[in-house]
Amino acid sequence: MSHAIALAGRRLPIDRPGAPPGQLAFDALGTPLAEVTFVVVDLETTGQAPGAAAITEIGAVKVRGGEVLGEFQTLVNPGVPIPPMITVLTGITTAMVLPAPRIDAALAAFLEFAGFHSGAVLVAHNARFDVSFLRAASSELGHPWPGPVVVDTLALARRALSRDEVPNFKLATLARVFAAATAPDHRALSDARATTDVLHRLLERLAPLGLSHLEDLRTITDPVPATRRRKSTLADGIPHGPGVYQFIGPAGEVLYVGTATDLRSRVRSYFTAAEKRARIGEMVDLAVEVRAIPCANVLEAQVREVRLIDSCDPPYNRRSRRPARRPWIRLTDEPYPRLSIVRSLPVSELDAAWGPFGSHRQATAALEALEDHLPLRSCSRRLPRLAPQSARSCMAAEIGSCPAPCVGAIDVERYAVHAEAARTVLAGSVEDLVAHLHGRIAALSGSLRYEDALEVRERLRSVLVGAARAERLRAWARLPELVAARPVADGWDLVLARHGRFAGSVHLEPGGDPAAALAALHATAEHVEASGIVGSAATAEETEILIRWYEASGTRLVELAGPAPPIALPVRGAHRWDLPPSG
């Protein structure tokens, strides 16, 4: 085989002031560029299009941290004569490639050298051209393409340089401008060496825009304002690991709260093209500081996020705001009860209520579904046990959609039967209601009344959301204390919840004393008093976060204290059905 691999200690001139010799002065974040293995590739071919042309030469330079780890070069026998114009351009003749390996052997040797399966990054100038030929060759040979991360120095140059600095972005022009050690000459290895020098000069140029790690390199060519990229320094000093972050505005106000499994990587992403939300982009442009709160685990981070959003009410958060004001549906306490939407619910009424809903509109849709299914009055005035003789019926009574207790059409005892049926549904027996709504959807769709069917489907969705959420909260909100453990990579996480609120957690190292860890958890956990109002001890969203953690596979119950009710869901409850798609 005619290819040659040379391991070399040649160090590229990319050292920065104050950095150790031969090492890039990049901050550690994600995968620092100084730790990335780049395989800089160049191909020579018989033409411009894969399939119509074939590879005649492969050259590559493998480099990491400014040091060349190896070089690869081989001619390739394309199986056809070299066109004269290609010979004039590259100097490669048909005679030169006759003894060279065919593409199957050459490609296998190159891929082994490159090590893309180990995370090496492919670099090329006008990478689309080189990658298209390599992918086509792999496909023709029946080999899977390893799919490495691809960096195009042509795209980087267009991002880093202006037309005032360079007349064009050709490799030869860039090599001359950057004084590359090797001049490109349309031979694969020479061009790969020149591209390597250009790559490192471009990385230096782009560093002030926040280019410091591999994740940045993937997005640096996207159209992100330079002012926003420069703000990436706000992420300096933020640690890795789970936690909560806050974007702070010029007056010290909290603009946005978020959570992350890796704080630094997540915050850093806000200053790249990975963040595409216009509203959040506006927030980032306003921010002058990012504060981080490291947490012991992801669960603690999620809980802290919900609490901070509740307490700070940041303007750029749309989820989780004002949880204490979320609506519920319950029956009123009067001789002729009706369904009512309330913003506060006593714990004593949790057994016959739905919620909390995400919005008043969603609660209204669920209430309308119930009123359509149950013979309850819908008027809002308080009615006496006996209707006055001067009372007049409303339109709802005239069309038969209300039992009309206001005019004495039904007495308290008979109406109480309907009210009890409503309490049964609100307590979790929603099977008949769901079947009724499914039937309405089918009938309306069969009559081609699709808009009406869509409205009923939204009612069904609202019913399932409110009913299922209430089902899960009933037992958990009343649990005085529950401890569970979940295995993690380096031991066990023990979590204690009281009345649906996250009270504390500890980590048990492998081989540690479980009894000591449990004692430490009890000693440091937050004291939580039982509350008479749902959501006072813990918001529904916090309790749901805990429920998901406790119900995850592998979690084990450790301790259940106090006269606790069973943690169970109703047999005919809303949890049995999947939510229909919204909209």
DSSP H helices, 98-187, are: 103-114, 127-141, 153-160, 171-177
Q: Which domains does the chain have, with CATH numbers?
A: 4-217 (3.30.420.10), 226-321 (3.40.1440.10), 331-473 (no CATH), 479-564 (no CATH)
Distance CA 302, CA 545 (A): 7
Question: Quick one: pLDDT band at residue 5, thresholds 50, 70, 90?
Answer: very low
Name residues whose C-beta falls within 8 Å of residue 492's C-beta, 6 or more positions apart in sequence.
485, 486, 507, 508, 514, 517
Confidence of residue 19 (pLDDT cuts 50, 70, 90): very low
Neighbours of 521 (CB within 10 A): 21
Tell me the C-alpha distance between 5 and 181, whole Å. 20
The whole-chain average pLDDT of the chain stands at 86
Q: Locate 13 and state its tokens.
A: 């001139």
Closest C-alpha among 446, 291, 280, 466 to residue 364: 466
Q: How confident is the model at residue 578 (pLDDT cuts 50, 70, 90)?
A: confident
Q: Which of 583, 573, 301 is nearest to 425 (CA)?
A: 573
Residue 152 CB neighbours (<10 A):
19
List the catalytic residues. Answer: 186
Helix (H, G, I), strand (E, B) or coil at 406: helix
What is the mean predicted confidence (pLDDT) over 63-86?
94
> Residue 532 and residue 349: Cα distance in Å, rounded?
10
Q: Determine contact, residues 42/192, Cβ cutoff 8 Å.
A: yes
DSSP, collapsed to helix, strand or coil, labels residue 508 as strand
**Is pLDDT of 151 > 90?**
yes
Report the distance separating Cα 360 and Cα 536, nearest Å. 20
Cβ pair 45, 56 in contact under 8 A: yes
Of 426, 448, 433, 464, the closest CA to residue 582 belongs to 464
Instruction: Give the up-direction half-sphere exposure of residue 53: CA atoms within 13 A in the CB hemisphere.
Output: 19
Q: Dump pLDDT digits (tens) for 240-252.
A: 999 999 999 999 9
Q: Please, what's the b/e burial string for 198-236 (b: 16 or more CB within 10 A of its CB; e: otherwise)?
A: bbbbbbbbbbebbbbbbbbbbbbbeebeeebbebbebbe
Q: 201-260, pLDDT tens digit by residue?
A: 999 988 877 677 787 776 666 666 777 777 888 988 899 999 999 999 999 999 999 999
Above 60 in pLDDT, residue 493?
yes
78 compared with 540, residue with greater pLDDT: 78
